[in-house]
Amino acid sequence: MTDHPEYRRGGVTRCVVALCLAWAGRGLAETHPATWVPSQSAAFIVAPNLAKSVGKFDAFLREMKPGFPGFDLAEFEMTAGFAPGVMDLSKPVMIIADRPEELMRLFSGAGLSEGDATWPVIGFTPADAGAFQKMLRDDHNGQAQSIVGAFGRYRVVLRDGVAFVAAKRSALSKIATLDADGAAYARMSDAARDDATSADIYMQFSMGAWRPLYESKLRAVVELMKLGFRAQPGDAARAEQVRKLSDWFFSSALDGVQQMDSVAVGLSFDGERFRLAHHHSFRQNDWMADYLGKVSRREDVTHWRAFPDESFLFALSSNWNVPSESCFAVRFNRRCMNDPALCRNLTRQQRLELDQNIATLTNATSVEEFILTSPPGRLAPFQMRGAYLAKDAGRILGVMQKVRAHSQEIVGSIIPGAAELAGKTHLTKMDGMDVYQIRLADASESPMVR
């Protein structure tokens, strides 16, 4: 590459790798980037239009900090080992890491040495495809070639006019023999495929490759949380049951994370709003996949119609409906209901009614929404408002009150003082609707609750 004046390095800097190009036939602009990614890659990153994305981020940051110089795309190209203007940054730039350490080293700032196996494959479309192609001997489709670049000798493999470049030939072997069934694209949802081409930056991680790096730390966090529950005051029998309940809860959560096959994140910015979309896939034939397979979604609704048009600090909306037989809240309640140490103040009939009411509430509600706000012109006190879309809403409101009246007994057995909230509900009118309020800052409550 250094034999051509356009491809001489423009300054002293460290490098990521040599990168991918496209000229004849299909290119990254016409083909979905994930079709070039082996499904078992530890991670891959796509920036569909880096030049446009950086322009939007620069404008946003200058509004907050006038005089912000902006991100230097020329420096990005030089870091990649090329002179400014060589890369067409209006077309997709890709990074494919076969192992976690490749991606970790990419962002460590370490320099590239010839034959370094700890660097990922990176791709781009050259601004002048003809000049770039002259650096290669011939278009040997699917055969790795050797070229000399700013940091040493690199290898290039061509697939349908798309070239992938890495420091070692072995890094390209999976891409050279990749078929459609073995590509990451085949395992992505439609939403993830869209994000990979429309988001400003899209990242996907294969959890199996990263699990050895995070599993021990995650287990340590889970054990600390269990200790927090066990350290609460209470009689010995109740403390033992709380320990068992917390073990079940956190062990189930940890098991659910371990069943995760992949995690993907797409970050988009339209000049005014940031959008972060995340996608998760789980191991088939296990309980998490079975749980998600039973979820239905309500799409034919107008969200937020139960709330006034005002500023808010946080908003959450869910259109999931989970059948009661697989709902976590129902399962959690039944574990508590079957334990006299946790429900000693409830009769058998009350426990049965509570179980039935929670199941009814779960099956009937299809949309749940919450906002956190505060009075106009003031930060405090915080106000949390919730709304549920349900069949036969009047009846369900009564069911909710029955659930709330007794559920505090269970919560109070786990979180000391929480049971004091029972009976603090007040019926009022708001915008013509019946609203039940709980005043969380009641002076009569214990200091622990306040």
3-state secondary structure of 137: coil
- pLDDT, one tens digit for every residue, the chain (450 residues): 333 333 333 332 333 333 333 333 345 556 888 998 999 899 999 999 999 999 999 999 999 899 899 899 988 777 665 678 877 899 888 889 988 988 887 766 554 455 566 678 887 887 877 776 777 665 555 566 676 655 566 777 767 666 677 877 777 888 888 888 999 999 999 999 999 999 999 999 999 999 998 888 888 888 887 777 666 556 676 677 777 778 888 888 889 999 999 999 999 999 888 999 999 999 999 999 998 998 888 888 888 888 888 888 889 988 888 888 888 878 887 877 777 666 666 777 887 888 888 888 888 888 889 999 888 877 777 888 888 888 788 888 888 877 777 666 666 655 555 555 555 667 778 777 777 676 655 555 555 555
Q: How far apart are CA 79 and CA 155, in angstroms?
A: 18
Q: How far apart are CA 422 and CA 5, in angstroms?
A: 77
76, 89, 155, 248 from 19: Cα distances, Å: 12, 12, 10, 48
pLDDT of residue 13: 30
Q: How far apart are CA 367 and CA 390, in angstroms?
A: 7
pLDDT of residue 329: 78
238, 330, 423 from 250: Cα distances, Å: 18, 16, 30
Q: How far apart are CA 193 and CA 34, in angstroms?
A: 8
Can the peptide bond before residue 66 be classed as cis, meaning omega within 30 degrees of 0?
A: no
Q: How far apart are CA 158 and CA 142, in angstroms?
A: 5
Choose among 80, 95, 98, 81: nearest CA to 170.
98
Joined tokens for residue 195: 């994000």
